A and B are shown apart, each in its own frame.
Chain A
Amino acid sequence: MVDSPLFKLDHLTICQQGNDHKPIIDDVSFSLTQGQRLGLIGRSGCGKSVTSHAIMDILRPPLIRKQGQAVLQGQDIFTLPDMEKRRIRGQGIFCIFQSPGSALHPALTIQQQMMELSTVIEQSPTTVTNAIEYAFDRMQLPLRCLTQYPHHLSGGMKQRVLMAMALLLKPRFLIADEPTTGLDVLTERDVIDTMEIMLEETQAACLFISHDIRIVKRVCPDLLVMQDGKIVDRCTRDELTYRDRAETTREIIDAMKVA
């Protein structure tokens, strides 16, 4: 590779407090270049979500980071002061979580929540309003959503509102942590479609986390396979059919054929 990586995760190890012998995440490293889409697949409970939380540095107390660096554009996120960290979340790294319902404030309208971003991107309210309208248009959201509260929206719509926020913030690196869990297949397709539009527009790198290899294969050319907190396989999506892959990978491919 000629270009230096945009984001680099180095030897991330996460343990439960007071239990150093069995790490939850064991020496995980990977890197992404600008605009690269990397899929992270694995069975449930293998540590996919913990990895995404660790990158955002929002691990919950029993879990602690033992070692590791997360370097975004030359800065190690973990060692930054809190103020800087907050700035990086949003415009540096943007994360779309499993349950969009809890990611939006229940007592504010979508418009209010979108306008809050204007303070972050430091632009005049009119520019922001235009940007919001543009973002909603791209995400195929009707403008009437702006005046509604999160509970009026369906799961897919909430997920797309988050994507619209990403479109506004233009993050360098997007983490999508099981963004389609709990959505029906048709909504899932819509959400993935809009996510691809968003990624193209912002030119962000993307780490796409899912247990469903069918979606991951659609979105990402490169794949990581995780099992018990370790990366057990790295491949491109064309190599997936090869039989000499790691056992976990084979298991997941098999499951796709039957399920």
Chain B
Amino acid sequence: MKLLSLRATPLGLNTGIILIGCLLLIAFFGENLAPHDPNKMDLVRRLEGMSWTYPLGTDHLGRDVLSRLMSGTLLSLGSAVMTAVTILFIALPIGLISAMLGGWVNHLLMRITDIFLAFPMIIFSLVIIGFLGASLNSAIIGVALAWWPSLARLVHTLTTDALSKDFVLASRQCGIGPVKLVIRHILPQILPPLFVVMSLEMASILLVLSSLSFLGIGAQPPEAEWGAMLNEARPFFTERPGLLLAPGLLISLAVMGFNLLGEGIRHKLDNRSPFRW
């Protein structure tokens, strides 16, 4: 119970902001700050433990784990952000159009969404990736295509709710067209809750992409992606568990950061402070 309430306090939000902020810094400057070339192999010093030269040790090809983690941040976070953007790009228009037009368009679009929703998400993305060939790009496309329906439904619900507001009806009564209506009255209403949901979803997207890389159908070696690093480290778990723990912990931290951030923003926007009974 204590832990649950901690997630919503400003402390939680601040932790989230700090975590994500650090990750972003590393994402943008990691490559320059990294002590070694992430792809430079040193087969003599493979699977080494922590040392001053290699703070987190080396992997099975003698590459510096710390440098690989740092330079992989951009790829890992970037692909998650790309996926989120792609999802929004599909879900937002579909949700908006179906809610705005109503009638048969609404039914058609929402039934299509339902059909997509009927497939188990991970299987569906596996099919798409199998079709496109294993690479990070197809992983992004696959996840986005499997993910958009739930978000389109959310956008649809939010838009329907926004449309029923008195002030939106009042603008329509004065003859305001649908495009202006969306830009001026609908988007300001639906975007804040949508961003909160997206920041929470980011965590899951990051996990899914990492899992796909772990399965070997996401980012391909020698790319330094966190999930791919986990995958590469798998055979050496007994020898050097730290090799697995480092990217695993980083993924957990990033997921936690996004969750805390989303939860914090949600709490901030939700100004219905409860009564003190």
Q: Do chains A and B touch in the complex (CB under 8 A)?
A: yes
- Interface on A for B, CB 8 Å cutoff? 57-61, 86
The 4 A-B residue pairs whose C-beta atoms are closest, nearest first, are A58-B275, A61-B273, A60-B273, A58-B276
Query: Whole-angstrom distance from the CB of A94 to the nearest CB of chain B?
Result: 14
A140 to B277, CA, bound (A): 30
Report B240-277 residues with CB < 8 Å from chain A CB.
273, 275-277
Query: Whole-angstrom distance from the CB of A97 to the nearest CB of chain B?
Result: 11
A51 to B145, CA, bound (A): 55
Which residues on the B side are within 8 Å of A86 (C-beta)?
277
A59 to B275, CA, bound (A): 7
Which residues on the B side are within 8 Å of A60 (C-beta)?
273, 275
6 other contacts beyond A57-B276, A58-B277, A59-B276, with CB at 8 A cut-off?
A: A58-B275, A58-B276, A60-B273, A60-B275, A61-B273, A86-B277
User: What number of A-B contacts does a CB cutoff of 8 Å give?
Assistant: 9
Q: Nearest residue in A to B272 (C-beta to C-beta)?
A: A60
- Interface on B for A, CB 8 Å cutoff? 273, 275-277
Q: Nearest residue in B to A59 (C-beta to C-beta)?
A: B276
Query: Whole-angstrom distance from the CB of B234 to the nearest CB of chain A?
Result: 50
Query: Whole-angstrom distance from the CB of A70 to the nearest CB of chain B?
Result: 15
Query: Whole-angstrom distance from the CB of B273 to the nearest CB of chain A?
Result: 5
A128 to B151, CA, bound (A): 50
A58 to B276, CA, bound (A): 5
Sample 9 A-B pairs with CB under 8 A, ordered by A number: A57-B276, A58-B275, A58-B276, A58-B277, A59-B276, A60-B273, A60-B275, A61-B273, A86-B277
A58 to B275, CA, bound (A): 6
Query: Whole-angstrom distance from the CB of A56 to the nearest CB of chain B?
Result: 9
Q: Nearest residue in B to A61 (C-beta to C-beta)?
A: B273
Query: Whole-angstrom distance from the CB of B268 to the nearest CB of chain A?
Result: 13
A61 to B271, CA, bound (A): 10
Query: Whole-angstrom distance from the CB of A91 to the nearest CB of chain B?
Result: 15
Query: Whole-angstrom distance from the CB of B205 to the nearest CB of chain A?
Result: 34
Which residues on the B side are within 8 Å of A57 (C-beta)?
276
Which residues on the B side are within 8 Å of A59 (C-beta)?
276
Q: Nearest residue in A to B276 (C-beta to C-beta)?
A: A58
Which residues on the B side are within 8 Å of A61 (C-beta)?
273
Query: Whole-angstrom distance from the CB of A23 to the nearest CB of chain B?
Result: 20
Which residues on the A side are within 8 Å of B273 (C-beta)?
60-61
A201 to B277, CA, bound (A): 28
Query: Whole-angstrom distance from the CB of A155 to the nearest CB of chain B?
Result: 19
A59 to B277, CA, bound (A): 10
Q: Nearest residue in B to A89 (C-beta to C-beta)?
A: B277
A61 to B273, CA, bound (A): 7
Which residues on the A side are within 8 Å of B277 (C-beta)?
58, 86
Query: Whole-angstrom distance from the CB of B136 to the nearest CB of chain A?
Result: 46
Query: Whole-angstrom distance from the CB of B252 to the nearest CB of chain A?
Result: 33
Query: Whole-angstrom distance from the CB of B65 to the nearest CB of chain A?
Result: 47
Which residues on the A side are within 8 Å of B275 (C-beta)?
58, 60
A61 to B274, CA, bound (A): 9
Query: Whole-angstrom distance from the CB of A51 to the nearest CB of chain B?
Result: 16
Query: Whole-angstrom distance from the CB of A96 to the nearest CB of chain B?
Result: 15
Which residues on the A side are within 8 Å of B276 (C-beta)?
57-59
